[in-house]
Amino acid sequence: MLATIEGIDAIAGIGGNAGHLDEAPSLRQLLPALDHFELDLRHAPSRLLRLCVHKVARGNERERIKAMTRKAHFGATIPQIKRPWVAAAESARAFEAQGYDSLWVCDHLYGPQSPQLPILEAWSMISALAAITEKVELGTLVTPAGMRNPAQLGKTIATADNIAGGRVIAGLGGGWMPREFTDFGMPFLGTGDRLKQLAETVTLLKRMWAEDEDEISFKGEFVEADNVVCQPKPPRKVPILIGGAGEKVTLAITAREADIWNNLAGHQAALAHKVDVLKHHCDAIGRDFDDIVVSQQCLVTIAPNEETLGPMADRAQKIFGGHMGDPKGPLAITGTPDRCVEQIQKHIDLGCTMFVMEFFGKDTIEPAQLFAEEVAVHFA
């Protein structure tokens, strides 16, 4: 998510490398050298962010940039199904270098389409990703609360967060694939009971990670722990993300317990309504809705021009239509970079500032770089 200045190479000090993302200074790095200039971002071309320079009073440029952009958090999904660890690691390093804020894995013990589909286990991946990255946050979207022993899950997450140095986000949900539970010795409860299990698991995890808790005993309807010790504690208060769109129960649990709510891709078109429901749940218990970060899982189909985009959008519709939302829907992040900027802004206007993105393409690194260079820069 770096901006490149075209036409003032002497100030930027990048000469003929202006088109290379990883060699260009960030806009933030350039600001001290531009204390006497105003930066006009309104007519930036799609390939390079052109900064038209006009002499003005010191300090004006920072206020102008702040007014013209709104902060967003961009996360990228790591390849995990039918991909070796080497490919996942390559993507992780690339996404971090491109400036993404977080990396995400799904938490399935079987591939969603078939148990025979190869898939890497999520929390093993999170710990491995922690060891090869430095700054990005790392999360699951999402871990079914009852798919593992809850106390052991708490220890696993705490260990991963220690390896990461305090960068883990615990994404939790109810789960939906019965064999992921039963084939591994865990009962697959009915929907309502799985959501109760989710709420009880969150309560247990928070106690296990609390600095003032030593031996934890807990007895709920579906979750039990007897004198459990979790040491070392996570380096930071692990953010709890709850994923799901159920309006009566899931969003009520979110209002009580979550730091982040994720709207699943299949419900992307209903984001505005779901946000309103979550606000009502927060109001009902006296919680400030602004304390919860709203995130959106989304498929991103981005192309440099309309000619390339057409066939890509059709393929995305055929492959992902339904499971990852409608690639041609009203909030779909599909299009040229300029169109994607507009779609991101629509989400922000609805209160969503965090995006967990799966990039469409055989090589996800390439579209991720295009997005970082030409879309994310507008929301830095």
pTM of the model: 0.81
52 has a pLDDT exceeding 80: no
Average pLDDT of the chain?
85
**Per-residue three-class SS string for the chain:** CCCCCCCCHHHHCCHHHCCCHHHCCCHHHHHHHHCCEEEECCCCCCCCCCCEEEECCCCHHHHHHHHHCCCCEEEEECCCECCCHHHHHHHHHHHHHHCCCEEEECCCCCECCECCCCECCHHHHHHHHHHHCCCCEEEECCEECCCCCHHHHHHHHHHHHHHHCCCEEEEEECCCCHHHHHCCCCCCCCHHHHHHHHHHHHHHHHHHHCCCCCEEEEECCCCEEEEEECCCCCCCCCCEEEECCCCCCHHHHHHHHCCEEEECHHHHHHHHHHHHHHHHHHHHHCCCHHHCEEEEEEEEEECCCHHHHHHHHHHHHHHHCECCECCCCCCCEEECHHHHHHHHHHHHHCCEEEEEEEECCCCCHHHHHHHHHHCHHHHC
Residues 74-112: tens digit of each pLDDT: 999 999 999 999 999 999 999 999 999 999 999 999 998
Domain boundaries, the chain: 9-68
* pLDDT for the residue numbered 322: 61
Residues 124-138: tens digit of each pLDDT: 999 999 999 999 999
